[in-house]
């Protein structure tokens, strides 16, 4: 299990890759949808994960014909998520794996569609861990003109590290994130949620179930 070409850095998505936060989004959105007699499940969520917040909200409202605006959905969702995010745990093995890379002097970055305020909430109890990342690019960074699946966020992350895109490997759990990384000319290690079908990840260079399935040596480090 190895990448096709050598890389010089690693860029990580946040939700569902480094932090176990996706279930928060699911639980809160399910409750909002139940209030209107609607069912939110993976047939809807799989088309939302990884996208900018407003775009994702618009998809949900349209797909389920919710009688609220995307902005109202986001307002209600954010109220509850702000209570939950500070309790976020790491994805199994994520801290050990990234620290192993940092110990091998591999430059690391986070590239997340989350806005800066939400990023700070999610990482509140993990500040020491996240200090090993040389760059953090968030969804409302003014340098990111278009969200995933556009390549902008990954290109900004690569530029922040001073490394050419073709020498970067991206860790992603969302198909739109995979598409964004590929559009940036980067290799991708996919970590799909167990509930996701694998077909959308066919373009990934590697597909793993957990960080324990991979070592820094597999990436050429």
Distance, CA of 64 to CA of 188 (rounded, Å): 32
Element (H, E) at 118: helix 116-122
- Residue 168 and residue 158 in contact, taking contact as beta carbons nearer than 8 Å: yes
- The closest alpha carbon to 60, from 86, 170, 71, 177, belongs to 71
**Would you give the DSSP letter of residue 9?**
E
- The closest alpha carbon to 204, from 214, 217, 195, 191, belongs to 191
* The pLDDT value given to residue 149: 93
97 alpha-carbon distance from chain centroid = 16
CATH homologous superfamily for 9-20+88-219? Answer: HAD superfamily/HAD-like (3.40.50.1000)
For 101, 157, 177, 186, 206, the CA distances from 8, given in Å and listed in that order, are: 11, 13, 20, 11, 17
Is the domain covering 22-86 a CATH 3.40.50.2300 domain?
no
Q: What residues are annotated to the active site?
A: 13, 15
**Would you give the DSSP letter of residue 220?**
T
Query: What does the pLDDT average to over 203-221?
Result: 93
The CA radius of gyration of the chain, in Å to the nearest whole number, is 17
Query: What does the pLDDT average to over 115-125?
Result: 94
Whether 197 shows a pLDDT value over 90: the answer reads no
* The pLDDT value given to residue 50: 77
* The pLDDT value given to residue 4: 87
- Pinpoint the residues of the chain covered by CATH 3.40.50.1000: 9-20+88-219
Sign of the Cα torsion 65, 22, 71, 28 reads positive
For 16, 38, 132, the CA distances from 26, given in Å and listed in that order, are: 12, 13, 29
136 alpha-carbon distance from chain centroid = 12
Take residue 157 and report the two structure tokens written for it: 């992350």
- Pinpoint the residues of the chain covered by CATH 1.10.150.240: 22-86
204 band by pLDDT with thresholds 50, 70 and 90: very high
For 24, 25, 53, 208, the CA distances from 175, given in Å and listed in that order, are: 19, 17, 16, 14
Query: What does the pLDDT average to over 45-54?
Result: 85
For the chain, what percent of residues have pLDDT higher than 70?
Answer: 100
Q: Which residue has the higher pLDDT, 2 or 38?
A: 38
pTM equals 0.89
């Amino acid at each position: 299990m190895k990448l096709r070409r050598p890389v010089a850095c690693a860029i990580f998505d946040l939700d569902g890759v480094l932090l176990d936060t996706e279930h928060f989004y699911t639980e809160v959105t399910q409750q909002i949808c139940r209030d209107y007699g609607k069912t939110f499940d993976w047939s809807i969520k799989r088309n939302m994960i990884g996208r900018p917040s407003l775009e994702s909200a618009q998809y949900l409202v349209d797909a389920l014909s919710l009688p609220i605006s995307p902005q109202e959905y986001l307002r209600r969702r954010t109220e509850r998520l702000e209570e939950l995010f500070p309790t976020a745990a790491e994805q199994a093995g994520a801290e050990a794996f990234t620290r192993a890379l940092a110990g091998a002097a591999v430059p690391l970055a986070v590239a997340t569609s989350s806005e800066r305020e939400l990023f700070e909430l999610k990482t509140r109890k993990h500040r020491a861990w996240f200090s090993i990342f040389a760059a953090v690019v968030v969804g409302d960074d003014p340098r990111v003109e278009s969200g995933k699946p556009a390549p902008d966020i990954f290109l900004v992350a690569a530029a922040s590290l001073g490394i050419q895109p073709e020498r970067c490997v991206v860790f992603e759990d969302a198909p739109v994130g995979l598409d964004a990384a590929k559009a940036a000319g980067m290799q991708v290690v996919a970590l799909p949620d167990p509930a996701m079908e694998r077909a959308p990840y066919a373009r990934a260079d590697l597909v793993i179930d957990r960080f324990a399935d991979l070592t820094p040596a597999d990436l050429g480090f």
